[in-house]
Amino acid sequence: MTRVFINGIDGLLGARVAEVISRDREARIIGLGRARPPAPVGRAEWFAARLSGKQFVELLRAEAIEVVVHLDFAGAERPAEDREQAVQQNVIGSMELFGACAAAGVRRIVLLSHVGVYGASALNPAMITEDRPIALATLSGLLRDFAEVEQFAIDFVARRPLLQVVPLRLASLIGGWSPMVEYLTSPGPRMLVGFDPRIQLLGLDDAAEGFARAALSTVAGPFNLASDDVLRLSQAIRLAGQQPVTVLEPVVELALSLGNHAILGHWPFGPSFLRYSCVVDTQRAKCELGWAPTRSAAELIQMLRANGRLVEDRAQSEAALREFLARRS
């Protein structure tokens, strides 16, 4: 029996991962979130709390957890309150969780990441494979958080050979809220004059299938997950029923230098991703995980258009944890 802990079961992706893993009758699933899961979670047991590193150790040891699926990133499935809060949750929170996993004897962490950690550059190959280094210095916002967590994980597991971290680098998710969904569904998505980069997308169900397969396997990561087709950014915008608004690159650079980030509207990444493509190869996931996307990027945007949309304190957390462990004993 594989004992799986899902950190971030209160997101659509976390709930769906729990439901997919539940198909394996030998898997036992426990989920933690900051609120009630928004969708069915299969056979998973869950509770809502915000745990410290020490509390994580207690929980993981008590339940003899073998695999942790870490999805709890501010800004991934709901807007982050601010950058300070996001860094605290995404980077510091991940570091605390890794430490707890090592202390509790967890053998495998399946980690949410994004294909954007490779950066957008004129030097990128047509198809990026997993052996390309992450471009930490060129990134900002959520992508930088993902890259920093991945870099920390590399250094962390180098000193702990019994712990394996498997990053899943996802193309932008379509399904529920995501930064790309907000961009595509907002009036007048911004583009740079003279640039039309290629992009990939990924459906929520396909992402969940990838996480389930990674959680229940022993193969080493990282893995790229994306739909098979590639769209031009302008194509994606028009498929979503919008008309792009083009802006001159020097105007954008001047506005950003003056602190005016509104000039890019809801574009979720840095300006370099409006210039250059970041397209990944998914053969490794297909060969080693047996994973394959079931939805194309074009289908995902059409579905999005058809659907019409693209804190507890320490005392409360301790009480929730005690109540949960009491039910399990």
Name every residue whose Cβ is closer than 8 Å to that of residue 115 and which is 6 or more positions away in sequence: 128, 169, 170, 171, 200, 224, 226, 278, 280
Pairing mode, strands 231-232 and 172-174: unpaired
* 249: in domain: no
Structure tokens at 321: 């944890």
Ordered alpha helix ranges (H), the chain: 12-21, 53-62, 83-87, 93-104, 141-158, 179-185, 204-215, 233-239, 249-257, 272-275, 283-284, 297-306, 314-328
Angstrom distances, CA of residue 78 to CA of 75, 82, 147, 170, 181 = 5, 12, 19, 16, 11
Check whether 308 has a pLDDT greater than 80: no
Give me the pLDDT at residue 304, please: 87
Residue 300 lies in a domain: no
On whether residue 112 sits in a domain, the answer given is yes
pLDDT at 312: 35
Structural domain boundaries, residue 318: 2-176+201-226+281-293+310-328
**Under a CB-based contact definition with an 8 Å cutoff, are residues 149 and 90 in contact?**
yes
Model confidence at 309: pLDDT above 50: no
Residue 165 lies in a domain: yes
CA 312 – CA 82 distance, rounded (Å): 18
In a domain, 192, yes or no: no
Is residue 48 assigned to a domain? Answer: yes
| Per-residue CA distances from 255 to 120, 153, 186, 251, 258 (Å) | 21, 35, 20, 6, 5
Nearest alpha carbon to residue 197 among 124, 136, 144, 263: 124
* Residue 313, pLDDT above cutoff 50: no
3-state secondary structure of 54: helix
What pLDDT score was predicted for residue 261?
Answer: 85
Three-state secondary structure call for residue 32: strand
Record the pTM.
Answer: 0.92
Give the tokens for residue 41: 């979670």
Asked if the structure places residue 142 within a domain, the reply is: yes
Read off the pLDDT of residues 114-161 as tens digits, 9 standing for 90 and up.
Answer: 999 999 999 999 999 999 999 999 999 999 999 999 999 999 999 998
Does residue 208 form part of some domain?
Answer: yes
Q: 29 has which bridge partners?
A: 4
Q: Measure the CA–CA gap between 160 and 174, rounded to whole angstroms.
A: 35
Angle between helices 53-62 and 93-104 (to 10 degrees): 40
- The β-bridge relationship of strands 231-232 and 198-199 is antiparallel
Structural domains of the chain, count: 1
pLDDT value of position 315: 54
pLDDT digits (tens, 9 = 90+) for 70-106: 999 999 999 988 899 999 999 999 999 999 999 999 9
CATH number (domain holding residue 32): 3.40.50.720
Of 265, 275, 286, 198, residue with least CA distance to 236: 198
